[in-house]
Structure 1
Amino acid sequence: MQVSLSSLEHYAYCPRQCGLILLEDAFTDDAATVRGTLLHQRVDTPGAQRRATVRTLHALPVWHDGHGLTGVCDTVEIHADGRILPVEHKSGRYVPGGPADVQVAAQAMCLEGMFDHPVPEAAIYSAADRRRHLLAVDAALRTRVLEVTAAVRTLLAGQTLPAALADSRCRRCSMVTGCMPDVLAATDRFQRALTDLYRIDNAPDGDE
């Protein structure tokens, strides 16, 4: 079962968000996602450019048959010394160790398989920061990629929507209205209300 690179970032951010997108085909835009769409319009047109000693590929389809991954890289730089660098573009600020790291590391792993060449680094360009952030695609990050890939595959196979968590991530999620985390989270108040909803009280003596 193929797993998309974009779903890795969604799952790493919130399993329920990933489930809503993959299982229910639900997605809602907000200001942040619209900014992201506009940003990607600059790099999502397939093609190649050459500047000095660097060849830049845009919207490059990538895959890894062994790991069952598939997707598209925003930008891939191929340097004269053989170095291959995937660059993922994000509209928001970069968060070290965040979900975007998983996505771009998976891109690096796909490129390694396709080019049969090590890809030890990847980069995330943050439009909010107006700079590029380099990260090492090390053993720990590769393990995280494979763990999240397995979790997404389990989600797809089970067809069960993950539970709502209702934490600080919800404030930054465009899908919070449809997700209803405050209502559906497994809080004591919700559990009591759910129990009361389906409780059948014994009728008083003499009543039918």
Structure 2
Amino acid sequence: MTAVGAEDPWPVPLSALEHYAYCPRQAGLILLEDAYADDAATVRGTLAHHRIHDPGHDKRPQVRTLRALPVWHDELGLTGVCDVVEVHPDGTVLPVEHKSGSYTPGGPADVQVAAQAMCLEQRMDTAVPTAAIYAMADRRRHTLAVDASLRERVCATAEAVRAVMAREELPAPAADQRCRRCSMNTGCMPKVLAGTRRYNRLLAELYTPSHETDWDD
């Protein structure tokens, strides 16, 4: 597990972990250019989060429910807000991240909610081995183990985000199927930039002399 050194002045938002895990360029556009854009899906998610963060809804009195809970991890340089944190009678602490779409096992949301669990461990001084994602499109809760592999993924993603912030340079566009579902497609221009990058590569190859052993006699 990689710790944040004194030379790393930038705290990494928990939401940036999910953005980077989905697409590094998306994270860069948001962090470096404040270029976030909404579409119908993101608006639905925002409205749903407003309802979730309303403290007036708790149908399970035996479970203490904390909403919009600020969390952080000093050693890893993480900071953010948990949608919902459940504290059960036996002391179990469970972060529950709400997403408007369907759940993808092993997807970017896993990184975000695992990071929440790691932050809660520091804040509440207790082990948080399990987290959950409530997928509104599925209308069900998906639980996942916050195991060593996922924790390493959180740390690696945090370091990658921090590297983007340090370089102050946008990552290259993905230009694949992810772009069709991204609300930032218009501003990102993945196809245009990918085409330009390919053109420059082919142009460089065209004017790069081959080794004399490859010459025709």
The TM-score normalised by the length of structure 1 is 0.89
Q: Read off the aligned partner of 1:174 and give its amino acid letter.
A: S
Aligned to 2:137, what secondary structure does the other structure show?
coil
Is contact 1:48-1:58 (8 Å) kept? no
- 1:51 aligned residue: 60
**Structure 1: which 4+ aligned runs deviate by more than 6 Å?**
192-195
Candidates 46, 61, 84, aligned match of 2:70:
61
Aligned counterpart in structure 1 of residue 27 of structure 2, from 12, 18, 29: 18
Distance 2:29 2:130 in 1: 31
Q: What is the identity, as a one-letter code, of the residue corresponding to 1:190?
A: Y
CA positional deviation for 1:47:
7.3
State the match for 2:113 in structure 1.
104
Kindly indicate whether residue 80 of structure 2 is the aligned counterpart of residue 71 of structure 1.
yes
CA 1:79–1:160 in 2, change beyond 3 Å: closer, same or farther?
Answer: same
Tell me which amino acid in the other structure corresponds to 1:113: Q
Which of the pair is proportionally richer in strand?
1
- Which segment drifts farther, 180-189 or 11-20? 180-189
RMSD: 1.9
Which segments of 5 or more consecutive residues in structure 2 lack a partner in the other structure? Answer: 1-9, 205-217
Residue from 177, 180, 187 that aligns with 1:171: 180
- The alignment's TM-score, normalised by the length of structure 2, stands at 0.85
Matched residues, percent identical?
Answer: 69
CA distance, structure 2, for counterparts of residue 55 and residue 71 of structure 1 = 20
Residues 1:8 and 1:46: Cα distance change in structure 2 (over 3 Å): farther
- Native 8 Å contact 1:48 1:55 kept in 2: no
Q: Give the Å deviation of 1:53.
A: 2.1
